[in-house]
Each structure stands twice: as structure tokens, then as C-alpha cells.
Amino acid sequence: MRYAILSSGSCANSYIFERNGLTIVIDNGLSCRNFEERCVSFGFHPAKIDFIFLTHLHSDHLKGVELLSRKYQIPVVAHKDHVGEDLGKKGIFKKLDIEENREYEFKHLKFTPFRSSHDSPHSLGFHFDLDGFLFTIITDTGEVSEEMFHFARQSDLLFLEANYSPPMLADGPYPAHLKKRISSAKGHLSNEDAARFMTEITLSGPCRLEHIHLCHLSKNNNTVERVREEVSRLYKGSVPWSICPRGEAVMGLTLEKESV
């Protein structure tokens, strides 16, 4: 499987995965031109994308979805209660409705959406099985759930939010109501939250994880150095992890597995 984090952070988020002729994208908060440039730089082809999966409606995940969908006639997989006006004024190419906690299958792709806890209606995370590669996306959630623990343990790769450093948020310039929103159960996971989640999934039972990508770093309330310091202090597991620098495109690991 080939994959890349095309962008991650509080400004724009997008991930691309390719395996045996099937290519999927999760979110696109980039402009269409920037998305295309980043794809091509890693050897991906926008015209070959089969589906765009949408986690929720905030602009850092949604902004570039409409034009990308129309330009390349890519279906958008989104919660059934997201209506057309939610996804763009001119309209996407096609919407495929899904609901949480149901497994879906198309060719050699299986996926299950699950609820995340965020201040955006019908916010989702996803667990994917792309021809034998299992990976889970958990971002934009203020708390973790049993479903998240379950799917993370079953994954080869985990993409996990480490949005803010609690001391930076507390001492930063944001007004009190915004600080409360970010740290609430409908906000985001902190570096410490991520480290505790990582420890529990890797030490409390069977776990197939090969790597954890920490992503969705806040522009104003986190840094790569803070993530490294705070996660290293609290994480007790042995599964390797890395940090996705905010706004940068990062090529994924080389992973090999027999087709199933």
C-alpha cells in the first residue's frame, strides 16, 4: 500500500491511500490546485481517485472537496444527514450516504464509520480495510470511545489527533470560551490524551499496530517539539510513532502485505 499525509493540522487536512488499483482520499481542506500538486509530487494521480471520504463539515476538512469531486467526477462518501448544501454551493459530483457503525464494502475495500465527539454535526472517524491493510483515522474528537479502542487495536496504522499542548492552550491568547471549547468533550485531543490512548491500546491486549502517526497539530496551541516532549513523557508502549508537521506533505511508510 502507498499512502501520504497531504496536509495535517488546524488549517488543512487530507490523506490519500492507494492499493491494487483503488485510490481513496480522506478529507480535503486544500485548494484543488494545491491538492493536485501534492498528489503528483508523490506519484498519485487525482484522476484515478475512486472515493473522497468526509469526516465532518469544518472547512479545514471540507474546503477543497466540492471542486475536487466535480473536476474529476469523484463520489463523496459522507454521513447520510449531510445534505447537498453542506458540501458546497455548486454541488459535488455525487454523494454516497453512510451511517455510523455499519460496515460497507466495495471491491477490495471495506470500511466502517464511527462517531467522533466534535462540535460539528454527524462527525465521523473511519476504520478501513484496503485489500488487507487496516488503518484507522481518529481526529477532531474531544474524547475517545470503545469503538475507537476496538478499531485502533485492529489496525496496522493509526492516524491519531494530538491537537494541543495543555500548557500552551492555558497560557495562550485565546479567549476563555474558545479554550473551553478546544479542551471540552466536543473539542480535540491533547498531546497527553493521545499518549494515554496510545498506551492503553498497545498495552491492554492484543494489538497489531505497526505505526502511529500523530496529526492535526494546532497552529497556535502546539508544536512538534511539544508533542515529542509530552507524548514521550507519558507513552509507555513500544509501537513506533511519528509526528506529522503542521501543513506539510509527508509520504507514508513502505508497507507490504499479501493480497487477501
Question: Model confidence over 98-126: pLDDT tens digits?
Answer: 999 999 999 999 999 999 999 999 999 99
What pLDDT, on a 0 to 100 scale, did the predictor assign at position 257? Answer: 66
What pLDDT, on a 0 to 100 scale, did the predictor assign at position 40? Answer: 97
Which residues share a beta bridge with 137?
126, 159
Per-residue cell: 108: 477490495
Give the pLDDT band (50/70/90) at residue 258.
low
Q: How far apart are CA 216 and CA 87, in angstroms?
A: 21
Q: Which domains does the chain have, with CATH numbers?
A: 2-250 (3.60.15.10)
CB atoms within 10 A of CB 196: 17
Is 68:74 a contact under the CB 8 Å cutoff? yes
Total-model pTM = 0.95
For the stretch 54-80, what's the b/e string if a residue is b when 16 or more beta carbons lie within 10 angstroms of its beta carbon?
bbbbbebbbbbbbbbbbebebbbbbbe
Q: How far apart are CA 35 and CA 45, in angstroms?
A: 10
